[in-house]
Chains A and B, each alone.
Chain A
Amino acid sequence: MKASKFLIATALAAMTSAGSTNASAKSLTLCWAAWDPANALVELSKDFEKQSGVDMKFEFVPWPNFADRMLNELNSKGKLCDLMIGDSQWIGGAAENGQYLKLNDFFKANKISMDDFIPATVTGYAEWPKNTPNYWALPAYADVVGWTYRKDWFAKPELKAEFKKKHGYDLGVPKDLAQLKDIAAFFQGRVIDGKKVYGAAIYTERGSEGITMGVTNALYNYGFKYQNPKKPYDMKGFINSDGAIKGLEYYKALYDAGSPPGSSDWYMSENIDAYKSGQVAMQMNFAFIWPGVNADKNVGGDRTGYFANPPGPGGHFAQLGGQGISVVANTKDKDSALAYIKWFAQPKIQARWTEMGGASAMRAVVEDPKFPTAQPYNKAFLNSMAIVKDFWAEPSYASLLLAMQKRVHNFVIAGKGTAKEALDGLLKDWTEVFKDDDKL
């Protein structure tokens, strides 16, 4: 009798606790990279938690491991993430392999219009196939590669005079890539305020995507194109055009003439460190770092200026960064995940997102007349976002990326072969990838 009473009591307790667990069990896990904007999103999401009663959890992975970790999660159909702020290049694979939910119907039902976002971010972060109205994400974080420079060093009269004498034009924001190299070389090894400094910190990282995200800023502007605009996947003469070869030679010349010693494997964080510690006159980096630079006590405020990637002889582009937010197809709570997207798409939330350290891609935010002057870097951000171009977003983007990392690093950093050999090799690798995918 005692035993049966005990069993009933235990069962009741278990049922009660199960009930209470269910009542508070609505939770979502949002997966993203571990960086400053992610911390801002945690703060911002408290508003969603308050409104919806859904508990928000976050899984942030440092950038160098972000793609590895998250693509593993998606490919293994893991249940960790309900929402994913994934890299723009993942969209093709995630869409074709059924890893993200298609959002067209949801957008239509909730009157979320892609016309409200910067067109380049819609193409870059949300569409697959590209330039078709098939949406797999909501633009979440607008980002682009741009430059910061030491305004205080550029303003030194003795340096200005010396530069003018040497190059015949004023030391200032470079008007094109050739000037950027001149300036980097001018500062290389120079002693300023008693300290040896260098020209420019540029992306050279080998392991993940670094050097590709850097070199494309030169390649695009010298005439590199991914494919024949009239014939998809026809790459011969586009990725290894004469202009592209010159672009690659330019990047190597910039590395050799103007980058700090030992910067053979540098990406975002190394460039930030070099700039903030006063080692370099200029820094290539994604715009997300600009608020941090502006607030820095050593180099922030008036000491730093910002500019968009300068044009070259073949055009004016900058490498797109940033991400869209998607609902993972394997989510355990699709309704709450979609509710989060709906909440996030509101103009007032997007405005607050930018205020808190995020970077909204919503036109209402960036086209606000107050926006360009709200922060010293906003104008450069807008100029940069107007010229963006992105890497492949094919399902095989990783194979395409790794091939480019290898070919470019071999030439630019290791100095092996010629630029033509590197790009011809890249053509061979990419052709093989598309052949394996039955696209050629």
Chain B
Amino acid sequence: MTTVPATTPTPGTSLAGAPPAVRRPRRARSPWLHVVMVPLTLLWLSPIVFVALIAVRSFDDIASRGLAALPASFTWEGLSTAFTGGSLLRALGNSVVVTACTVLASLLLSSWAAYALSRFAIPGRKSLLLVMLAGNLLPPQVLLVPVARISESLGIADTLFALVAVQVGFGIGFYTFVLHGFMRSLPEELFEAARLDGAGAGRIYLRIVVPLSRPATAALAALATTWIFNDLIWALTVLRSESKFPVTAALLNLMGGYSSSWNVIAAASLVAAVPTALVFFLFQKQFVSGLLVGSNK
């Protein structure tokens, strides 16, 4: 992989074949990029491809010809076992509910905090913002035992509500920080004009701040969806009964129950990856810009 930088286009290497002069020499690419990248890309995708191939093979096929063989059978058996025996559907449902509630609640609360901190003379607002962000940077391990105790003493242990609550609390700092950065770049003139028209803080929030921060909110939503959907540690900390497990935790349980049925495990892990993959493909642009937030140069 370290050979890749050497493949950056060098001026003058492949100019001969390049279209007439308009093209600048830097644009010319040596074929080495593709020579390196095509196999690398295939290698990169191979785990996903292999798991997909295993998912559609029958148990007997895998048992007799090994995991690495190309499929000699095609069956939905693994998938249907995962759904019926592994109660994958219920787990997916739990995940969707938890993810939707968490993302909505955290973005709502963070947009409130970001609005307050970015447009009002709150004393010590900069420090407050950084402290909130710091909360999100804490290693979750520092919170696990107390969070488990607190949710027990509140009587909400082993409920999806507790899972949502703790993830909202943990995420708020980061989302607030990002939204704050966006909201304070909104032009002050809009706010002045709204105030002249007699709009109060609440109306300005609803009519100006929320609609205009939609791009930032969308990026955060795409990112948060994958984070929350993919969470494992909070689910294992807060939840006890299998019927409430989100899909990540349920998968690990399934692993115990079907430890030699690789087609079931492969099918179930693919299913668990599909929702976030969908978010990724549908909102690729938001997703990528979401990744960049908080990583300012």
A and B bind: no
- Residue positions of B touching A, CB distance < 8 A: none
